[in-house]
């Protein structure tokens, strides 16, 4: 390698990467999201497992998490976190990464109330199990394991699709859709709603 090429390569390595405006905006949005909601930490104690928030203020951290879970009830928050922790337990230990993944799924749904939060929690749990059985289906030890994993995967995938549909229906409750195809106003101010056919000159008009 020539000395000139060596100097150029060293300069290229020393020069920091200049992100594009789009990359900067994406990074800023991710940082803002991370700062918004604290992660949940699990620690083992003599009484069992203690859950805490990775936030300098317990009260403010709790308020942020309750906002993202669509609730103002601390009992509900405690209950749903404990349920998610149990669903994230592998052996005798709570898997923090799994727990926070399920929380991120719930936050991504943007629940408006506690019922939506519970449904989103079930969706997160079902999705996690779906991917577990997808792995087992791809790596079976024998035909029996393959068949069991295939059946479980199909059931879980259908359940998840049904949950998504249930959430859509719940959110659309109360919405009314009125479609008017044609409105014809006759002499005297009487309106006919529906498909109206007019005949030629001299023909009688019949709704």
How many helices (DSSP H) and strands (DSSP E) are in the chain?
7, 6
Residue 86 in domain:
yes
* Whether 137 contacts 188, CB under 8 Å: no
How do 40-45 and 183-185 pair as beta strands?
unpaired
Global model pTM greater than 0.75: no
Residue 4 in domain:
no
Residue 114 in domain:
yes
Q: How does pLDDT run along the chain (207 residues), one tens digit per residue?
A: 555 555 556 555 678 888 899 988 888 887 776 556 899 999 988 888 899 999 999 999 999 999 999 999 999 999 999 999 999 999 889 999 999 999 999 999 999 999 999 999 999 999 999 999 999 999 999 999 999 999 999 999 999 999 999 999 999 985 555 555 554 555 555 544 455 444 555 555 554
Residue 110 in domain:
yes
The Cα 67–Cα 184 span in angstroms is 50
Checking 161-165 for CB contacts under 8 A at 24+ apart, the result is 163/119, 163/122, 163/123, 163/126, 164/123
- Of 112, 111, 90, 108, the closest CA to residue 99 belongs to 90
What residues are paired with 50 via a beta bridge?
43
* Whether 194 contacts 184, CB under 8 Å: no
* Whether 188 contacts 200, CB under 8 Å: no
Residue 99 in domain:
yes
Residue 139 in domain:
yes
The total of structural domains in the chain comes to: 1
Q: Could you tell me which residues come within 8 angstroms of residue 163 by beta carbon, excluding any fewer than 6 positions away?
A: 119, 122, 123, 126
Residue 179 in domain:
no
The Cα 125–Cα 102 span in angstroms is 7
Residue 11 in domain:
no
Enclosing domain of residue 158: 22-172
């Amino acid at each position: 390698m020539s000395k000139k090429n060596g100097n150029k390569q060293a300069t290229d390595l020393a020069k920091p990467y200049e992100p594009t405006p789009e990359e900067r905006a994406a990074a800023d949005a991710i940082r803002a999201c991370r700062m918004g909601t604290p992660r949940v930490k699990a620690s083992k104690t003599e009484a069992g497992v203690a859950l805490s928030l990775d936030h300098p203020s317990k009260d403010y951290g709790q308020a942020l998490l309750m906002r993202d879970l669509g609730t103002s009830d601390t009992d509900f928050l405690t209950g749903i976190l404990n349920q998610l922790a149990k669903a994230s337990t592998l052996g005798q230990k709570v898997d923090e990464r799994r727990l926070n993944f399920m929380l991120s799924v719930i936050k991504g749904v943007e629940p408006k109330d506690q019922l939506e939060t519970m449904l989103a929690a079930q969706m997160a749990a079902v999705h996690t199990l779906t991917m577990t059985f997808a792995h087992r289906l791809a790596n079976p030890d024998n035909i029996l394991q393959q068949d069991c994993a295939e059946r479980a995967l199909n059931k879980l995938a259908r359940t998840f699709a049904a949950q998504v549909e249930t959430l859509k229906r719940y959110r659309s409750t109360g919405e009314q859709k009125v479609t008017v195809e044609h409105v014809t106003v006759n002499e005297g101010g009487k309106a006919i709603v529906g498909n109206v056919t007019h005949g030629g000159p001299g023909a009688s008009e019949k709704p």
